[in-house]
């Protein structure tokens, strides 16, 4: 059975063109919503996935209607594959029920993995170069060394309460204990 899914990003956009295309493609039931593709929690998409049974095909008018990121698309298609379901995009001509459609999606998956590896390599190279120039990553310290010394003196004086020290320096208990340990 073909199950349609249509999505537009804003309330002032119309679903009509997608719904007509999905109807023409022979979708027995169509789920639609007006929500950004950047959102990972989409109620109607979830309903469509719950409604589908083994052998069914999720049909979209265009790939970007399912999701903006390649990772989301691949994760969704893999979820369908695990449940012995298929995916079809009308505009791009993808159909994972065919061997050609599966091949194309595996190529996309490989490209996505390659892209993640390249980003990871660039990030690590950038961090290494920054360290070589004496730069250290992470969030800057809220307190300077002089303030940390004052904090340690106040902490050493048992008449001072922890909550008062934290309030004075606008820090959490965890931060106080971490700084005292240094």
Q: Is 9 a catalytic residue?
A: yes
If you average pLDDT over every residue of the chain, what do you get? 88
Please tell me which residue in 9, 24, 110, 159 is annotated as part of the active site: 9
Percent of the chain with pLDDT over 70: 97
What is the sign of the dihedral through the CA atoms of 73, 77, 80 and 86? positive
37: confidence class by pLDDT, cuts 50, 70, 90: low
Residues 150, 156, 159, 164: is their CA dihedral positive or negative? Answer: positive
**Digit-coded pLDDT (tens) for 107-147:** 877 776 788 789 899 999 998 998 899 887 777 778 888 99
What are the sequence ranges of the domains in the chain? 2-95, 145-181
Q: How far apart are the first and last CA of the chain?
A: 64
CATH class of 2-95: alpha beta
**Overall average pLDDT of the 29-55 stretch:** 88
Residue 159: pLDDT band (50, 70, 90) is very high
The helix/strand count (H/E) of the chain reads as 8, 5
Whether the Cβ atoms of residue 28 and residue 2 lie closer than 8 Å to each other: yes
Q: Report strand pairing: 94-95 vs 86-89.
A: antiparallel
Is-contact 59 5, C-beta < 8 A?
A: yes
- Burial of 107 from C-beta contacts in 10 A (0-12 / 13-18 / 19+): exposed
Give Cβ neighbours of residue 152 (< 8 Å, ≥ 6 apart): 179, 180
pLDDT digits (tens, 9 = 90+) for 63-102: 888 887 777 888 888 899 999 999 999 988 889 888 888 8
In 3D space, the residue among 103, 104, 126, 107 whose CA is nearest the CA of residue 115 turns out to be 107
Q: Which residues, in sequence order, are bridge partners of residue 88?
A: 59, 95
pTM: 0.60
Cβ(66)–Cβ(59) under 8 Å? no
């Amino acid at each position: 059975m073909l199950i349609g899914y249509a999505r537009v990003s804003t309330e002032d956009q119309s679903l009509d063109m997608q719904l007509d295309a999905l109807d023409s493609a022979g979708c027995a039931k169509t789920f639609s919503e007006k929500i950004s593709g950047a959102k990972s929690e989409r109620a109607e998409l979830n309903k469509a996935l719950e409604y589908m049974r083994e052998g069914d095909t999720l049909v979209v008018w265009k790939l970007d209607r399912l999701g903006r990121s390649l990772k989301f698309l691949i994760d969704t298609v893999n979820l369908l594959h695990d449940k012995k379901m298929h995916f079809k995009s009308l505009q791009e001509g993808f159909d994972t029920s065919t061997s050609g459609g599966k091949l194309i999606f595996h190529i996309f998956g490989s490209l996505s993995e390659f892209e993640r590896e390249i980003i990871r390599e660039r990030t690590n190279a950038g961090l290494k170069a920054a360290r070589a120039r004496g730069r250290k990553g992470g969030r800057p310290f809220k307190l300077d060394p002089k303030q940390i010394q004052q904090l340690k003196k106040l902490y050493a004086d048992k008449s001072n309460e922890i909550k008062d020290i934290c309030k004075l320096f606008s820090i959490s208990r965890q931060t106080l204990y971490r700084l005292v340990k240094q």
